[in-house]
A and B are shown apart, each in its own frame.
Chain A
Amino acid sequence: MKILVVDDEQDVKVLFQQRFRKEIRKEELEFVFAFSGEEALNLMKAMEHEAVLILSDINMPGMSGLELLDTIKKNYVKPPPMVMMITAYGDDENRTMAKNLGADDFLTKPLDFSLLKDKLITLT
């Protein structure tokens, strides 16, 4: 199962690769990185027949994480990909909006990677 990480911060890729280096090495987890909503949608198209878990930042220039969530949830009905939203601050408003749009989970920065690992392993 591929996990698509969407964040405008480039260093997220390095962080994930290091955080999940063991899992990546063991091929327990596979990450694909996109740095904007638009790029994420393009990758989604390319990975149409692969099971995808999406981890997306909310605050991004251009298409925001919520827009991306909305688009994915609307465009990929069967099977619906799992979308976990990550934002720098976990206010209720964002959380409610994300849930309304169909977000499967909600994480706040700074990311608790051990928690995330557990969740990812459980899901995958």
Chain B
Amino acid sequence: MKHILYIIGFLLSLTVFSQQEKVLTISDTTLVNRWAYLESNWSYKKGDNINWSDPKFDDSSWTKISSKNLNKPNNKIIGGDNEIVWFRKLIKTDSTFNNPIVLNVYQAGASEIYLDGKLIRTLGKVSSNPEEIETIFSWKIVFHLPLEKNKAHLLAVRFVNSQRKYPKYFMNDGHIYIQATSIHNILTTDPRLVTPIKETRNYYNNLYIVLGIVLFMFVLFLFLYIFFKREKINGYFALTSLLYSCFLGAILLEYKTNFYEFKYDFIIGILNVLYPLAALYCIYKIFNKRIGYFYWGITAIGILLILSGFLVSSVYTGHIFGVIILVEFLRISSLSYKSDKIGALIFLLTGVLNLIFWIIATLHQLGYFDLPQLIYYVPFAYILLPLSIAIYLGYFFGNRSQSLRLNLERVQKLSKEKESILSEQKDTLEQQVKERTSELNQSLDDLKATQSQLIQSEKMASLGELTAGIAHEIQNPLNFVNNFSEVSNELIDEMNEELDKGDLEEVKAISLDIKQNLEKINHHGKRADNIVKGMLQHSRSSSGTKEPTDINTLADEYLRLAYHGLRAKDKSFNAELITNFDESIGKVNIVPQDMGRVILNLITNAFYAVNEKKQRDVSFKPIVTVSTKKSDEYITISVSDNGDGIPEKVKEKIFQPFFTTKPTGQGTGLGLSMSYDIVTKGHDGKLKVETTKNKGTAFFIELPN
């Protein structure tokens, strides 16, 4: 509401310097393209008499004044509260007068306008009873003044200076200004003519411009906030701009109505506190200041000022609050000079400019300067604070964008460098991976070779164990082959002798023996052949092809080989061998070399186990049993002994490669692991073990039937 005060201030100052005129004579050209104040040659008298409107009444005894504000000539009030004053003035028209005249009354109070004793307009209600007075505070009430050509007219004004209910203390100096122009002027669209008070017109025009700028800032910062909510300052500033827009909007709305009303004054008073508080909040946030006692104190003052709107117009209080905000604004800016020089300088500059403006304006108001056009720039003074925030935010975000851009460039550069390093590392890694892969492949090949060697070693080791057995097994058939052939030879000699004797019965008997011997030779020759073949088969790499095999024979052969092998190495060793073969098994589809190896391994282990026990206990009778059994699901080959059994801890590991309980050099630790693989992987079977401490161990090979 400062605006009204300033308007009034300016108007008041104008009255001091206004030109004195004689009786106004109006011709057709007098009021072309202008509004003229009816300010000269007025007479006034306090009191109330309806006859004072009569043109014939002699007012020569009345006081003469010349003033734009009729109630305050020479800066002194004529009519005090509820005091009725009459003003009279003579107006002449010449013979050229042709254009109708209109008047504009700008008043605070109530008035009646008379022309030649006739009431032509009532503005409010004039009454000697204060209760009945109805005040109008208006700056634009335009009406026709019906003047006649080439005639003297008397214009009389009955005016009462009265106050409204709220605010209680405002515009105690009731005022009334009367302006005139030709009707032609106000019918044009020229804003200079439509609005009678020039200063007001320019002021409001500038207010529109400022409102436009503020609304633009509001929209801009609102969307900046909506699309990037992390920057809360944009939101705060959008809110500040909105409150400021409302403030300006309320002033313009009041202006449009042409009347001063309390409701507008009060709303403007509220907004006049809220928008500077919001602006101050923005400054606090910009400089990262804590919202502390100062801010809350200022807020409390603001609330008090809003409430005081019932007593004093916001025209005054808004002024006070504006000064407080400005001081705090300068204080915060100064405090932040070290941390943010540019920001502080922007705000200090704005604050100082604002301060200079208001000092000049106040000095002007007080009459030290005559700067009638200063009021035009008041709206721009209002906008300085929000504008400076907008400028700062623009600078801040611009600066940050720049630094972000630089950072981005740096990051991009770094990324490229990293990319290149990564690419190099990738190449190096790939190379290393290739090398390692190659090394690993080499290692794998070596391992495979070693594995084959180990397998071969295991074979050879078991073959070694068999050698003695094989020797024995071959010697036996050879013994028969040699001796039966020798006997047969002798028998043929005998047969010849008997032939010579002619004893054919004996010859027949001998020939039957020879035949039987030949069968024996054949049988034992085959037996030796089988042993040699078996040995070769055992040492050869497995063909991996399954073939129908007599499991019972296979088991028996290996049992004997193993037994004799062990006996050959250890003369003291002996064991009872029990075979329990299920003759219904027939031939089973297995890889004979592999399965033979498994059976041999289990039997060798069984012998080893019983032999160990025998070493400790002389009375112990070792028994090794080999059984086969056919069921619906499986063909089971079991090898059991009555040795010490396998401890639980050892049992978990027996199928692991290289695990052995035998002394170093005696076992490869591959026997059972190979056996496990042969049974499970090679034959889809199962290799199970059951063991009881001190009672023995049984291995079961279960092959799918």
From B513, B524, B574, contact of A11 by CB (8 A): B524
Query: What is the predominant secondary structure among interface residues of chain B facing chain A?
Result: helix
The interface bits of chain A over 106-124 (1 if a CB of B lies within 8 angstroms of the residue's CB, else 0) are: 0001110100000000000
The interface bits of chain A over 46-81 (1 if a CB of B lies within 8 angstroms of the residue's CB, else 0) are: 000000000000010111101100000000000000
- Chain A residues, Cβ within 8 Å of B567: 59, 64
The distance in angstroms between the C-alpha atoms of A15 and B575, with both chains bound, is 27
- Chain A residues, Cβ within 8 Å of B513: 18
A32 is an interface residue with CB less than 8 A from chain B? no
- Chain B residues, Cβ within 8 Å of A62: 574, 576-577
Tell me if A89 and B471 are in contact (CB < 8 A). Answer: yes
The distance in angstroms between the C-alpha atoms of A15 and B488, with both chains bound, is 10
- Chain B residues, Cβ within 8 Å of A66: 571
The distance in angstroms between the C-alpha atoms of A94 and B572, with both chains bound, is 10
B-contacting residues, A1-59, CB 8 Å: 9, 11, 14-15, 18-19, 59
From A15, A63, A67, contact of B483 by CB (8 A): A15
The distance in angstroms between the C-alpha atoms of A88 and B524, with both chains bound, is 15
Tell me if A61 and B577 are in contact (CB < 8 A). Answer: yes
Q: How far is the CB of B465 from chain A (nearest CB, A)?
A: 15
From B475, B576, B577, contact of A109 by CB (8 A): B475
Write the chain A residue with the least CB distance to B491.
A18
B487 is an interface residue with CB less than 8 A from chain A? yes
Q: How far is the CB of B109 from chain A (nearest CB, A)?
A: 148
The distance in angstroms between the C-alpha atoms of A115 and B479, with both chains bound, is 14
Tell me if B483 and A97 are in contact (CB < 8 A). Answer: no
Tell me if B476 and A109 are in contact (CB < 8 A). Answer: yes
- Chain A residues, Cβ within 8 Å of B574: 62-64, 67
The distance in angstroms between the C-alpha atoms of A30 and B483, with both chains bound, is 19
The distance in angstroms between the C-alpha atoms of A67 and B575, with both chains bound, is 12
Write the chain B residue with the least CB distance to A37.
B574
A-contacting residues, B548-572, CB 8 Å: 563-564, 567-568, 571
- Chain B residues, Cβ within 8 Å of A18: 484, 487, 491, 513, 517
List residues of B whose CB falls within 8 A of some A CB.
468, 471-472, 475-476, 478-480, 482-484, 486-487, 491, 513, 516-517, 520, 524, 563-564, 567-568, 571, 574-577
List residues of A whose CB falls within 8 A of some B CB.
9, 11, 14-15, 18-19, 59, 61-64, 66-67, 88-89, 93-94, 97, 109-111, 113
- Using A15-B483, A18-B484 as known contacts, list a sample of 19 further A-B pairs with CB atoms less than 8 Å apart, ordered by residue number in A: A11-B480, A11-B520, A15-B480, A15-B487, A18-B491, A18-B517, A59-B564, A59-B568, A61-B563, A61-B577, A62-B576, A64-B567, A94-B571, A110-B475, A110-B482, A110-B483, A111-B483, A113-B483, A113-B487
* Top 5 A-B pairs, shortest CB-CB distance: A88-B475, A110-B479, A109-B479, A110-B482, A88-B472
